[in-house]
Amino acid sequence: MASPQIRGAAVLSLVLAASTLTACSGGTTGEQKAVSADDLVSSLPAAKGPVDRIVWNLTEGEPDTLDPANAATTASGQVVRNLCDSLLTTDAKFRLKPNLASYEQVTPTKLVLTIRQGTKFWDGTTVTAEDVAFSLRWAADPSKITSYLFANVSSMKATGADKVTVDFKRPDEMFTSEMANMVVIKKAFAEKAGDKLGTPAGGLMCSGPFKLDKWTSGDSITMSRNDAYWNTARSPFAKSVKFTFVTDATSLTQSLNAGEIDGAYELSAASIPALRKSQKGRLVFGPSPQSVNIYVARPDGVMADGDLRAALQRMIDRKALAKAVYHGAATPMYTMTAPASWPADQRQVYEKAYKSYETSRSYDMAAAKKLVEKSSYKDQEIVLAIQAGDDAQSRTAQLVQQQGRQVGLKIRIQSMQPLVFSQAGYDASKRQGIDLMLGTNFSAAPDPLETIGFIYLPEQVYNYTGYEDPQVTKLFEEARATFDGARRAVTVVEMQSLFEKANTTIPLVSTNTATFLNNRLTGAITSFAYWSMPQMAYVGAAKK
């Protein structure tokens, strides 16, 4: 007689086989080659000439806002980075560089930004130090998602015609790296727009390489080249870009293969088999700090039981999930912070600690079943929310549901429309009645503290369970105030050993950025660094 673990593995294999057979149109039942580090590409060869128009899809769907301080999704952030200049920028390998400003860390608690001369907004007015200071204060407002990044700031003031001084209550190593994601908006325009800033009605006024033309709700966002852009080295090749909002993987695959849509980032795993064989363009995988996780969605309800959360860590075969559902373009993951977010110089410290989680959270159905039996679970229904139209999420959820059944859990999958699902990520009212959410996570900078702070500091927008541990908060502040990377790594690992015990996040896989680009185009940034830069400005004609 087979042990519970062997029976569970057999059931998972059958479900995985079925899910591979029912992949999107053009899929294959053959073995998929795993994507290795050597296969990852950060950017494609430079564009050779201009193009009239690019049609680009936002796979996450229509943004709910283009207010830069709340543009925290892959879709909204992607659009904003093309319209609004960031103070600093990154290259395709995540290296930080000056952009609209340069900076000097005068002391551990004083940062001075120098605004580049000759920069102008789309309306022709000059970008001033007061616009920059206002933009930082706008992002620091407690109502904004970005506000926690300013927790250690005491003041942000224009201190000269081209100078902005940021004073800190305590040193903050995170702040500088995050400036690649802090963009500048025109003060007078934002004050007049108020709450409508970044909406179809309110619009934006920025200084980026593209100008916002029109946002047609439910259909598209169009932008045109800013021919007066200050950075002539980054003047866009495309005269215009149209962003579409197709979220269904099969429909998007068909549109890409038909040439109706030129490209997209963050393609669903369900699209990979067909797009690998495409004659219309190429599929490229790039380095990324992204991950797919299950999040405990609220502080109460059935998932408040710690043993039940621990059971989820043991009942999922992450290796099989990465291979079959993600077609080799993902890696099993065992902690909330993705290995790709570890600073390169301290990788060994993080890797050593990581191995213990690989062991303690390894696939073990017998252990999971014992944890369920030990818990307070009494056959209640557990609601797992996913985004409608995302085939990979649907198949992943089915596997979780099947595995749950093997250890005695009743899991119901609830599909939510893309916009509502996105809102549920930061609005607790949209998570009512939901116990778990299957979603993605990413760090905009190569720093584990970014995602840790959002999820495990008290009262943060992504802290769904109300997690609060004074020791974790203390260690977080210590790490944040430490500019020495080696010392900071030791503190982060110690902090990780505490918050991971709560099991409020069940990591599944770390994913690569999957990009498709039509053969007529080249130049795309294909690492996740695209999210922190005006990525559409790089895309142009493949031939002269």
DSSP H helix total and E strand total for the chain: 16, 19
Residue 361: HSE in the Cβ half-sphere, 13 Å Cα cutoff: 25
pTM equals: 0.82
| 399 and 388 Cβ atoms separated by less than 8 Å | no
Beta partners for residue 541, in sequence order:
49, 521
Q: Which of 397, 391, 227, 235 is nearest to 312 (CA)?
A: 397
Task: Please give the CATH topology (third level) of the domain spanning 4-23+294-512.
Answer: Dipeptide-binding Protein; domain 3 (3.10.105)
Separation of alpha carbons 368 and 406, rounded Å: 9
**Which residue type is seen at 543?**
K
Give, for 540, the enclosing helix (H) or strand (E): strand 540-541
pLDDT of the residue at 2: 34
| 264 and 256 Cβ atoms separated by less than 8 Å | yes
Separation of alpha carbons 351 and 349, rounded Å: 6
**Which residue type is seen at 161?**
A
| 175 and 143 Cβ atoms separated by less than 8 Å | no
Separation of alpha carbons 255 and 540, rounded Å: 20
Beta partners for residue 385, in sequence order:
414, 437
pLDDT of the residue at 72: 86
- Rounded to 10 degrees, what is the CA torsion of 334, 339, 342, 345? 120
Ordered alpha helix ranges (H), 182-270: 187-193, 249-258
Separation of alpha carbons 380 and 368, rounded Å: 17
| 518 and 280 Cβ atoms separated by less than 8 Å | yes
CA distances from 81 to 84, 185, 462, 539 (A): 5, 12, 22, 14
| 238 and 52 Cβ atoms separated by less than 8 Å | yes
| 528 and 90 Cβ atoms separated by less than 8 Å | no
Average pLDDT per run of 10 along the chain, which is 544 residues long? 32 33 36 71 96 97 94 93 94 86 94 96 97 97 91 96 96 89 96 96 97 96 97 96 94 97 93 93 93 96 97 95 86 93 90 96 97 97 93 91 96 94 91 95 83 93 95 96 94 98 96 95 95 96 94
pLDDT of the residue at 442: 83
| Cα angle 272, 440, 271; round to 5 | 10
Beta partners for residue 509, in sequence order:
292, 332
Residue bearing tokens 């866009």: 236
pLDDT of the residue at 389: 82
Separation of alpha carbons 444 and 465, rounded Å: 23
Residue bearing tokens 């229509």: 62
| 214 and 187 Cβ atoms separated by less than 8 Å | no
Going through 2-137 in order, the beta strands assigned E by DSSP cover 51-57, 88-90, 96-98, 101-107, 110-115
SS3 at position 90: strand
Domain ranges of the chain: 4-23+294-512
Give, for 332, the enclosing helix (H) or strand (E): strand 330-332
